[in-house]
Amino acid sequence: MAPDLARVRAALIDQRCRAPFYRQTELRSLHDALLSNSDALQNALAADCGYTQDEITWEISASLLCVKRESQNFKPKDELANEYLVANEKDNVQHREPIGLCYIEPATKHTPLFSIVSALAPSIAAGNCNVVNLSEKTILGQTLRKALSRALDQDAFVLIDAPLDDPIVPGRTLRIIQSSSEEIPHTEELLSLDSAVCIAVVDRTGDLKKAAQQLYTARSTHGGRSPYAPDIVLVNEFAMGDFVKEVLREAMSASPRSPGSVGGTTVKDLDLHVNNLQKRDPDAQLLMRKDNFAVVQRATSNELLLKTQYPLLVLYPFRSLDHVIDLVAQQQSGSPSLATYIFANPETAKYLSQFIEGAATFVNHVPTELLLGPAFPHTKPVDLKHRYPRETLTLPRPQYIHSGRPDTKESLSSKIASLKVQALAPLVVPYRHSGADLGFFDRGAIISLGFIVTTFVGTVGCAVAYWFKSRAI
Q: What digits encode the pLDDT tens for the residues 398-451? A: 999 975 555 555 678 888 898 999 999 999 888 776 655 566 667 777 888 888
Indicate if the pLDDT at residue 239 is higher than 90. yes
pLDDT computed for residue 404 by the predictor: 53
Please, which pLDDT band fits residue 64 given cuts at 50, 70 and 90? very high
* Maximal CA-CA distance, the chain: 119
Indicate if the pLDDT at residue 286 is higher than 90. yes
Mean pLDDT, range 28-53, rounded to an integer: 95
pLDDT computed for residue 260 by the predictor: 46
Please, which pLDDT band fits residue 364 given cuts at 50, 70 and 90? very high
Q: Tell which CATH architecture fits domain 3-194.
A: 3-Layer(aba) Sandwich (3.40)
pLDDT computed for residue 435 by the predictor: 54
The CATH number fitting domain 198-371, selected from 3.30.559.10, 2.30.30.40, 3.40.309.10, 3.40.630.30: 3.40.309.10
- In the chain, what are the domain boundaries? 3-194, 198-371
Indicate if the pLDDT at residue 278 is higher than 50. yes
pLDDT computed for residue 329 by the predictor: 93
Cα–Cα distance measured from residue 458 to residue 5, given in angstroms and rounded to the nearest whole number: 92
**Angstrom distances, CA of residue 222 to CA of 38, 108, 134, 363:** 19, 13, 21, 23
Q: What digits encode the pLDDT tens for the residues 142-181? A: 999 999 999 999 999 999 988 887 777 778 899 999 988 7
pLDDT computed for residue 332 by the predictor: 86
Spatial CA neighbour of 48 closest among 313, 262, 361 = 262
Q: What's the chain's Rg over C-alpha atoms? A: 31
Cα–Cα distance measured from residue 332 to residue 320, given in angstroms and rounded to the nearest whole number: 19
Residues 6+ apart with CB under 8 A from 112: 48, 49, 106, 138, 140
Please say whether the beta carbons of 129 and 99 come within 8 A: no
Indicate if the pLDDT at residue 396 is higher than 60. yes
Of residues 212 and 406, more confidently modeled = 212
The side-by-side arrangement of strands in the sheet containing 232-236 is 285-290, 293-297, 312-318, 232-236, 198-202, 339-343, 361-363
Rounded (5°) CA angle 124-368-317 = 135
Cα–Cα distance measured from residue 152 to residue 158, given in angstroms and rounded to the nearest whole number: 9
Please, which pLDDT band fits residue 453 given cuts at 50, 70 and 90? confident
Averaged confidence pLDDT in the chain = 89
pLDDT computed for residue 257 by the predictor: 59
Please, which pLDDT band fits residue 265 given cuts at 50, 70 and 90? low
Residues 6+ apart with CB under 8 A from 215: 200, 202, 230, 233, 247, 313, 341, 366
Q: What digits encode the pLDDT tens for the residues 292-348? A: 899 999 999 888 899 998 999 999 999 999 999 999 999 987 789 999 999 999 999
Start-to-end CA distance of the chain, whole Å, equals 117
Cα–Cα distance measured from residue 284 to residue 307, given in angstroms and rounded to the nearest whole number: 17
The rounded Cα 281 to chain-centroid distance in angstroms is 31
- Bridge-based pairing of strands 285-290 and 293-297 is antiparallel
Q: Taking the model in full, what pTM does it have?
A: 0.85
Mean pLDDT, range 223-251, rounded to an integer: 95
Range in 13-17, 237-241, 443-447 with the lowest mean pLDDT = 443-447
Rounded (5°) CA angle 176-177-180 = 150
Please, which pLDDT band fits residue 259 given cuts at 50, 70 and 90? very low
